[in-house]
Amino acid sequence: MANKKVKRWRSRPAGKKGNTYASYPRPAESEVYHLKPEGEKKAKKETSELEQRYREEKAQQNKAAAAPAKKKKKKYKSVQASSQAAKQARRGYTSYSEKEQERIERAKRRNRNSVMLRALIASAVFIIGIVLSIFIFFKVGEIKVTGSKKYTAAQVVEASGVELGDNLFAPTALSVQSKLDKQLPYIKSVTLKHELPDVLVICVKESTAQFAFKSSNKNTTKYILTDADLKLLEVADKPAKGAAIIEGVGIVGADMGEKAKFKEPEKGDLVKTIKAVFADNGMEDVTSINVKSTVDIEVVYNNAITVQIGQANALDYKCKIAAKAIEDALKENEKAKGTVNVKQADQTRQAYFNPNS
């Protein structure tokens, strides 16, 4: 027998009259039952979609309530990635939380500090080892002297204060120089060389006498010799070869090996300047310089020609024009002797050579 939809009508309520068939509402679709053929079980009521959803949600709530509560993990608030985290992100790494980054930075700082400490300890040990090896194992066993012509090697060694058995690296060029200046003033500079394992070489450079300051006292005449820097070298009975004799300049209160002190300091500087200017103009063989009067300066060249300079103004120009006049005179006569007057050469622009009669 085919299923057939059957309408179910409610009976009229008791005690109420006058209700008609039309007063009852029409049954909902959910209340419609399907009849089954005879012999089959009674039809069950169909469940609506809303009721089915409610039952599923209720079952899930009961299952969640029955399950043991799980401890929630603490989540750290993410922070903006640092420059290092950004680099890691660009390389494909995931950024760390703020606490994790701080822990990593502390570990890196500890590692850096540890490395630096080990490096400092190793450097200190290395330096201490070098210092101990220098001061304990290296001793002076032999002393050599080079470059000395004025003094013997024994004089240089004795004046230096260095002895056999001293530490090879203890003496310095400055300390040796200060000792040699007082005892051996002709020594201009000193350098030290070491030939391992035990040889110390003292290399000296000597200066030469450039000026001979004439000093007359009663019936005796002495010459105080100085180098180009006016350092006192010695007092001699005659001027040294190649040194210019200086007249009109007095030296006072100076020890050997020190710079000369003059009664008139400006004259000392003037003499030094005149010699340098003549050398720059090709007249290095200056025999004498007379500065008794600073307005009547005279210079003797090659012990034959006197250059009358007058005042020291326009000194360089006067030397140039005098050098030209001397050159022309020597071309005519290699043994020429005479005078060149350049007192007014800065104004007249001329200089003449007057030979001796």
- Structure confidence by residue, pLDDT tens digits, 305-330: 999 999 988 899 999 999 999 998 88
What is the rounded CA–CA span in Å between residue 314 and residue 299? 15
Q: What is the DSSP letter of 255?
A: -
pLDDT tens, residue by residue, 177-218: 988 988 999 999 999 998 888 899 999 999 999 999 998 877
Asked whether residue 13 carries a pLDDT value surpassing 70, the answer given is no
In this predicted model, which residue has the larger pLDDT, 103 or 48? 103
pLDDT at 12: 52
Mean pLDDT of 116-142: 79
102, two tokens:
């701080």
For residues 241 and 244, what is the distance between their CA atoms, to the nearest angstrom? Answer: 9
The predicted structure's pLDDT at residue 46: 61
Q: Please report which confidence band the pLDDT of residue 273 belongs to, taking 50, 70 and 90 as the band edges.
A: very high
Q: How far is CA 245 from CA 178, 225, 235, 268, 313, in A?
A: 29, 9, 13, 13, 22
Confidence bin at 1 (pLDDT 50/70/90): very low
Instruction: Round the average pLDDT of the chain to a whole number and report it.
Output: 80
pLDDT value at residue 79: 47
Among 5-9, 129-133, 167-171, 184-188, the range scoring the smallest mean pLDDT is 5-9
CA distances from 82 to 102, 128, 259 (A): 11, 43, 68
* 221: helix, strand or coil: strand
- DSSP per position, 112-159: HHHHHHHHHHHHHHHHHHHHHHHHHH-B--EEEEES-SSS-HHHHHHH
Mean pLDDT for 160-178 is: 88
Q: What is the DSSP string of 186-208?
A: TEEEEEEEEETTTEEEEEEEE--
pLDDT in tens, 236-260: 999 999 899 999 998 887 788 888 8
Share of the chain above pLDDT 90, in %: 33
pLDDT at 250: 87
> How would residue 126 be classed by pLDDT, with cut points 50, 70 and 90?
confident
pLDDT for 303 beyond 50: yes
pLDDT tier, 81 (very low <50, low <70, confident <90, very high otherwise): very low
In angstroms, rounded to a whole number, what is the distance separating the alpha carbons of residues 175 and 237?
Answer: 32
| 214: enclosing H helix or E strand | strand 211-217
- Decide: 249 and 272 in contact? Cβ < 8 Å: no
For residue 109, with 0-12 CB atoms within 10 Å meaning exposed, 13-18 middle and 19 or more buried, which class applies? exposed
When pLDDT is averaged across residues 119-146 and rounded to a whole number, the result is: 80
Q: Tell me, what DSSP letter sits at residue 328?
A: H
For residue 259 the two structure tokens come to 């710079």
| Range scoring the smallest mean pLDDT among 183-192, 248-257, 286-295, 332-341 | 248-257
Q: Residue 340 gets which letter from DSSP? A: E
For the chain, the distance separating the N- and C-terminal CA atoms, rounded to the nearest angstrom, is 177
Neighbours of 143 (CB within 10 A): 20
> Which residue do the tokens 């005449």 mark?
221
Give me the pLDDT at residue 98, please: 76
Cβ partners under 8 Å of residue 196, min gap 6: 138
The type of residue at 270 is L
pLDDT reading at 91 higher than 80: no
